[in-house]
């Protein structure tokens, strides 16, 4: 394949600005150039067909009907050298530690508030702060068991944290399936020194769930899914299958007078000990939260409070992945761990603060404005690309509810060569590593690299034209 590639004015993952390949990509570039473009294209088609036939799809909701799509996959892997990864790993472990300490504090003594680090109003007004969790001690004191933290790289190549997904982070099945597809399509591309494996993620998850079981010994674990119409249903099934756990919907569970959770089986009721729940707090128990929810299990919170069932993640973790709380994570790290953050945040303005509000109003055309509690790339304004009317609309919205928004300078996300209609072309990427906390914190080497497939686009979300790449963490630096 002929590689005729322009790095543009961006930090490129594969190439230096002068056009030479970075050392950890050298071997890949060499192998790629020896492939024919035709052969490469055939492999891509084969992989896409395999994804479709396996039903590795997600659902996009449109105005009228929902459609099933495969998550577009790019065959050029992203490579991270070992030393760079170990830096990221340390930073992620530090962050996860601080987030769990923060959640415990915020639902108990609130020292961080009393000491004036995080303002009380931010917590009280947080959409995902759950009064029901105040004073409750979750099993082993852990709130976030599974976190997906999104990292980006700026024009200098520095890694920054864009957000933490501490509720129900998704995408991990794509990480595993992408690797499987790559191994099938391009065994020759893998370096002789190997690539760190991601396939044991389900085992790690299983152990983390076992770890919080109400009683020692073998626990009955189930994955609680909203059902087959949920966009991540494939993943829920995938994980259940890989862990040998049951996959259940709300209708399969019942909480009895003894405050235990049971599944309805063909031979009667069977007690459930741990739920890996992929339903948001709001819908999980109609007795306590959204009364109209048909997805949840009435009485689940009773069982949880009684300690008869453990949930991962805990209820109420959403207050930690609120984008306003996000701004305080570096302060949390300092406060709880007395350390400097290893991975910095993106510079962020909080319209909630008077000075920041002024700045945001005056510079909105040059900022990215995000709703504090939306996910999936929704509720977002990219100032430089937006029309006057859109900017005006956001100005009004921010002014009305300053607490609900944050603003950041646009980061020119790093780019990665990506295969498209015109051969290899630079596309913006981010990285979502998965962090699991049980007896200790473990980070899956690599994670999901998401890529904005539309030329020039900075939005990597699958619902908005994003795709993904296999992500290799090398065993060494080259």
Residues that bind another protein (CB under 8 A): 52-55, 227-228, 233-234, 237, 240-241, 246-249, 251-252, 254, 256-258, 262-269, 271
Of 101 and 272, which CB lies nearer to another protein in the complex structure? 272
- Cβ 260 to another protein shortest distance, Å: 8
- Cβ 278 to another protein shortest distance, Å: 13
DSSP codes joined into one string, 392-429: HHHHHHHHH-GGGEEEEPPP---EEEEEETTEEEEEEE
Of 38 and 65, which CB lies nearer to another protein in the complex structure? 65
DSSP 3-state assignment of 174?
helix
Of 34 and 266, which CB lies nearer to another protein in the complex structure? 266
- Strand runs (DSSP E) across 172-237, as ranges? 221-224
- Cβ 240 to another protein shortest distance, Å: 4
Any alpha helices (H) in 107-171, and if so which ranges? 111-114, 120-124
Nearest CA to 7 among 25, 40, 189, 82? 25
Contact 469, 416 (CB under 8 A): yes
Of 14 and 185, which CB lies nearer to another protein in the complex structure? 185
DSSP 3-state assignment of 187?
helix
Of 173 and 293, which CB lies nearer to another protein in the complex structure? 173
Of 252 and 390, which CB lies nearer to another protein in the complex structure? 252
Of 192 and 267, which CB lies nearer to another protein in the complex structure? 267
- Cβ 239 to another protein shortest distance, Å: 9
Cα gap 437→207, rounded to integer Å: 10
Of 228 and 294, which CB lies nearer to another protein in the complex structure? 228
- Strand runs (DSSP E) across 158-236, as ranges? 159-165, 221-224
Is residue 114 classed exposed, middle or buried when 0-12, 13-18 and 19+ CB atoms within 10 A define those classes? exposed
Residues in the chain: 478
- Cβ 307 to another protein shortest distance, Å: 17
- Report the b/e string of 340-365 with b at 16+ CB within 10 A: ebbbebbebbbbbeeebbeebeeebe
- Cβ 294 to another protein shortest distance, Å: 14
Contact 101, 320 (CB under 8 A): no
Query: Strands 368-371 and 405-408: what pairing?
Result: antiparallel
Of 76 and 253, which CB lies nearer to another protein in the complex structure? 253
- Cβ 226 to another protein shortest distance, Å: 12
- Cβ 152 to another protein shortest distance, Å: 33
Contact 177, 56 (CB under 8 A): yes
- Cβ 262 to another protein shortest distance, Å: 7
């Amino acid at each position: 394949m002929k590689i005729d590639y322009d790095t543009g004015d961006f930090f490129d993952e594969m190439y230096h600005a002068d056009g030479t390949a970075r050392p950890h990509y050298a071997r890949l570039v060499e192998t790629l150039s020896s492939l024919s473009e035709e052969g490469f294209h055939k492999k891509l088609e084969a992989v896409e067909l395999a994804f479709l036939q396996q039903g590795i799809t997600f659902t996009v909701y449109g105005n009228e009907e929902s459609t099933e799509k495969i998550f577009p996959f790019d065959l050029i892997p992203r490579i991270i050298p070992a030393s760079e990864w170990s830096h990221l790993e340390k930073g992620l472990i530090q962050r996860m530690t601080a987030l769990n300490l923060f959640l415990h504090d915020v639902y108990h003594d609130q020292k961080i508030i009393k000491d004036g680090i995080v303002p009380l109003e931010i917590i009280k007004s947080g959409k995902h702060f759950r009064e029901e969790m105040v004073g409750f001690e979750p099993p082993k004191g852990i709130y976030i068991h599974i976190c997906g933290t999104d990292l980006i790289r700026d024009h200098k190549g520095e890694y920054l944290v864009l957000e933490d997904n501490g509720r129900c982070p998704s995408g991990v099945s794509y990480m595993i399936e992408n690797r499987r597809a790559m191994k099938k399509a391009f065994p020759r591309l893998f370096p002789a020194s190997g690539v760190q494996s991601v396939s044991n993620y389900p085992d790690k998850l299983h152990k983390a769930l076992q770890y919080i079981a109400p009683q020692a010994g073998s626990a009955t674990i189930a994955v609680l899914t909203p059902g087959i119409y949920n966009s991540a249903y494939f993943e829920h099934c995938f994980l259940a299958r890989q862990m040998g756990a049951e996959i259940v919907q709300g209708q399969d569970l019942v909480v009895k007078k003894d405050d235990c959770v049971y599944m309805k089986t063909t031979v009667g009721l069977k007690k459930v000990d741990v739920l890996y729940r992929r339903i948001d707090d709001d819908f999980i128990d109609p007795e306590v939260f959204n009364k109209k929810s048909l997805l949840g299990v009435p009485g689940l919170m009773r069982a949880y409070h009684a300690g008869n069932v453990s949930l991962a993640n805990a209820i109420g973790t959403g207050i930690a992945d609120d984008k306003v709380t996000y701004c305080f994570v570096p302060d949390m790290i300092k406060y709880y761990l007395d350390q400097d953050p290893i991975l910095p945040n993106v510079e962020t303005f909080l319209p909630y603060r008077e000075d920041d509000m002024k700045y945001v109003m005056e510079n909105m055309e040059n900022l990215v404005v995000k709703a504090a509690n939306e996910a999936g790339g929704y509720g977002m304004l990219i100032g430089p690309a937006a029309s006057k009317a859109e900017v005006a609309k956001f100005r009004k919205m921010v002014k009305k509810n300053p607490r609900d928004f944050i603003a950041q300078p646009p980061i020119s996300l790093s780019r990665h060569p990506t295969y498209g209609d015109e051969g290899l072309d630079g596309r913006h990427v981010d990285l979502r590593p998965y962090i699991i906390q049980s007896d200790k914190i473990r980070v899956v080497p690599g994670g999901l690299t998401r890529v904005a497939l539309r030329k020039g686009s900075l939005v990597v979300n699958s619902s908005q034209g994003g795709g993904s790449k296999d992500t290799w963490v090398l065993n060494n630096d080259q």
